[in-house]
Copies of this chain bind each other. A is one copy, B any other.
């Protein structure tokens, strides 16, 4: 059993990490830090873990050496003390945005402040196994992924890699998201009577995850618009694009199959009938699956690509654990076998 600790474990991503590590056959949850909740049981912040662990949150300063360390701190915290965290564990996965982008310039452009440890950037591998499985297998440091970026990336990657998109016309990803994306801190906009039932455009342009999608797809002319809807978990990307060449349904099947058939956590959902023809995030709650699909408008050369995930799982804790499994030489899917529920 390898011992894993979590820094910043009272938020939603931290809670998912704790749930996953506690249920992992090859990992033991050593410590979980939280300044706010120090001294309290994990279940005070994560009521679903009642009866699963007697652990109490510790202050971050009390973290001891472990085999692996998962960082679920607010953006900017991990890069300011990465040296100390690296001293605590041979293997580190940082779920914040600090080490997701390739350059300090890019980080500063999108996150509005200089990167605190630019020389560490190249030591980190972007923690999306579908992009970097081989590098992750030997990595000591991995970043997490942006949830909305992951939904868009996995939806579009088969098309981007095949070079069949008309990049000049631009690609617009209209992402629908749940309230858990906003994290555990409450405010005026998350007050239930206000937030309930909204169709709230909160980032029509300039969403930070745009940077990750552009880098992942190697296409610059991609734009995200994010709308908050009535949902707690889930992110669903509807990616609007134009084809640079005529493609048939059969061609598209081949592109998506070539990209995803061997991926354990990407499922192609493209059915002719029924209520579940296209990817649907609600049945993914708690699971590490990304469901992807498309619709082809042959007459207009238009394609709509879909990507649905649980933002806290494949979009955060799930991809992180999948990466950690690879980094530690464990079975990639270990601890990630919950398939999601239906009905739900």
**Chain A interface (Cβ within 8 Å of chain B)?**
12, 15, 19, 22-23, 44, 46-52, 169-170, 172, 174, 176, 178-180, 182, 184, 186-201, 204-206, 221, 223, 225, 227, 229-234, 236, 238, 240, 242, 267, 269, 274-278, 280-283, 285-287, 289, 291, 295-297, 300, 302, 304, 306, 308, 337-344
Among A44, A286, A308, chain B packs the most CB atoms within 10 A around the CB of A286
User: In the complex, A306→B200 CA distance in Å?
Assistant: 10
Q: Inside 8 A of A340's CB, which chain B residues have their CB?
A: 48
User: Would A176 and B229 count as touching, CB distance under 8 A?
Assistant: yes
- 15 A–B contacts from the bound complex (CB under 8 Å): A47-B342, A51-B339, A180-B193, A186-B186, A198-B280, A199-B282, A200-B275, A200-B280, A201-B295, A204-B238, A205-B296, A205-B302, A229-B231, A286-B338, A286-B341
User: Would A238 and B341 count as touching, CB distance under 8 A?
Assistant: no
Q: Inside 8 A of A189's CB, which chain B residues have their CB?
A: 275
User: In the complex, A22→B337 CA distance in Å?
Assistant: 10
Partner of A304, one of B201, B289, B343: B201
Q: Inside 8 A of A344's CB, which chain B residues have their CB?
A: 193, 197, 232-233, 285-286
User: In the complex, A44→B342 CA distance in Å?
Assistant: 12
User: Would A206 and B297 count as touching, CB distance under 8 A?
Assistant: yes
User: In the complex, A276→B197 CA distance in Å?
Assistant: 13
How many copies are assembled?
4
Q: Give min CB distance, A130 to chain B, whole Å.
A: 15
Q: Give min CB distance, A301 to chain B, whole Å.
A: 9
User: In the complex, A178→B344 CA distance in Å?
Assistant: 10
Partner of A192, one of B172, B190, B281, B287: B190
Kindly report which residue of chain B lies nearest to residue A291, judged by CB atoms: B50
What 4 pairs between A and B have smallest CB-CB spacing?
A204-B295, A193-B343, A186-B191, A205-B297
Q: Inside 8 A of A306's CB, which chain B residues have their CB?
A: 201, 204
Q: Inside 8 A of A176's CB, which chain B residues have their CB?
A: 176, 199, 227, 229
Among A189, A204, A242, chain B packs the most CB atoms within 10 A around the CB of A204
